[in-house]
Amino acid sequence: MKQIFILLFLVPFYLHSQNDSLTKLPTPKPEKKNWYESIEVRGYVQARYNRLLETNSKLGCEQCDKSWGNNNGFFLRRIRLIFYGQISKQVYFYIQPDFASSVSSTSLNFGQLRDAYFDIGLDKNNVFRFRIGQSKVPYGFENLQSSQNRLPLDRNDALNSAISNERDLGVFFYYTPKSVQSLFKEISKEGLKHSGNYGLFGIGAYNGQTANKPELNNEQHVVARLTYPFKLGSQIIEPGVQAYHGNFVMPASQLSPGVKFKKGANYIDQRAAASLVLYPKPFGIQAEYNVGYGPEYNKHTDSVEVKRLEGGYATLSFKLGIKNHIIIPFTRIQYYSGGKKHETDARSYKVNEYEFGIEWQPGKNFELVAMYTISGRKYEDFIKQNNFQEGQLLRLQAQVNF
């Protein structure tokens, strides 16, 4: 009997010692992830039709949607396939081709590179980083905003005329504190039509002839942008300023025979802009305005000259959630007076345009936009002088996200 009591007394101590030995067993180390396992793929496709309720088939927009106007029909605006990944803690890459590029008015849906860059973080949280390669130039909120997220079907003329396709080849430095990184992620997660993380502050140098085009002088453009998102109650506000400076060379293929131009076709190209964004929670405002100087055709002298430019836009929106559906009615007014250096003879423009639309998202993989446009556009070059077109049209876009 005495032996039994001794055994009963010792059992708890024995079991406790066994638990201690179990808890001290080394935990297995997680398997190291190979860099190629960090690569992800996503994309989107946009299909459009612009001919409903059209009042003037001569009204067009070379900068935005080439399927406006006479002899046009259904149109693939974008087919994007994006390869990206954080292949190490401080190295990120992003490659985006587009398979709906138009090399001419008679040849559509060619593959062309849009982005090809990598980010190199200088610290473990990537607060300081360099972006090297072909990417968006940090000038203008709507320019940086992906077409996958933007409400109006095309970017505004005023700021988008600064950089065709919004991109160029260069090196950019971005500073994004951890608190701002977190706020950017929150904006994106809530589907508030963000522009992406282009830093609280960004500065860089780029060729200046725009994406997929060779440099034509020995100077680079320089650009700087400062933006500061902050919360005010339940709202998120993001004001910003940006500017760039450089010299743009008009390619010979963009100059009409007989037009006069500066020796070397090398023109001052400089702008400054202010931005203000109130994210739609549920009411939203997005407004920008820029001023500057650049090449512009002058019909009175038949020459391309450096002239002043100005213009901007304001977009109002209201985000509604109805069960699993998101509905966003919006309206935009825009104005631009100046040249477009990427077009023939730095075509001279004066644009007044009003748009009313609605975006419907029945789920995250599909969006449908209907937008009514009232437009008055004067666009003149050496061949087309005294060319003013105005009209109205209903535009439709279906978008699939994957």
The span from the CA of 95 to the CA of 97, in Å, is: 7
3-state secondary structure of 183: helix
Q: How many CB atoms lie within 10 A of CB 399?
A: 20
- pLDDT tens, the chain, 402 aa long: 444 434 434 444 444 444 444 445 566 666 777 878 889 999 999 999 999 999 999 999 988 898 999 999 999 999 999 999 999 999 999 999 999 998 766 788 999 999 999 999 999 999 999 999 999 999 999 999 999 999 999 999 999 999 999 999 999 999 999 999 999 999 999 999 999 999 999 999 999 999 999 999 999 999 999 999 999 999 999 999 999 999 999 999 999 999 999 999 999 999 999 999 999 999 999 999 999 999 999 999 999 999 999 999 999 999 999 999 999 999 999 999 999 999 999 999 999 999 999 999 999 999 999 999 999 999 999 999 999 999 999 999 999 999
pLDDT for position 28:
63
pLDDT for position 75:
95
Torsion angle, alpha carbons of 118, 124, 125, 127, to 10: -70
Instruction: Provide the sign of the torsion angle of the four alpha carbons 177, 169, 42, 72, taken in this order.
Output: positive
Q: How many CB atoms lie within 10 A of CB 106?
A: 6
What structural domains does the chain harbor? 41-401 (2.40.160.10)
3-state secondary structure of 381: coil
- H runs (alpha helix) in 161-228: 178-189
pLDDT for position 26:
61
| Cα distance from N-terminal residue to C-terminal residue, the chain | 75
Q: What is the full DSSP assignment across 23-66? A: HTSPPPPPPPPPGGGG-EEEEEEEEEEEEET-S-TT---SSS-T
Query: Which tokens in the block code for residue 369?
Result: 């936009």
247 contact partners, CB below 8 Å, separation of at least 6: 208, 217, 219, 266, 267, 268, 269
The span from the CA of 117 to the CA of 10, in Å, is: 68
Q: Tell me the pTM.
A: 0.89
Cβ atoms 51, 73 nearer than 8 A = yes
pLDDT for position 87:
93
C-alpha of 36 from chain center: 27
284 contact partners, CB below 8 Å, separation of at least 6: 192, 193, 277, 278, 315, 316, 317, 318, 319
The span from the CA of 358 to the CA of 129, in Å, is: 38
For residue 182, which amino acid is it?
S
pLDDT for position 376:
97
Torsion angle, alpha carbons of 345, 348, 352, 356, to 10: 10
Q: Which run of H or of E encompasses 6?
A: helix 2-23
Q: Measure Cα distances from 228 to 142, 209, 282 in Å.
A: 16, 29, 20
pLDDT for position 6:
41
Query: Which tokens in the block code for residue 163?
Result: 């950089």
263 contact partners, CB below 8 Å, separation of at least 6: none
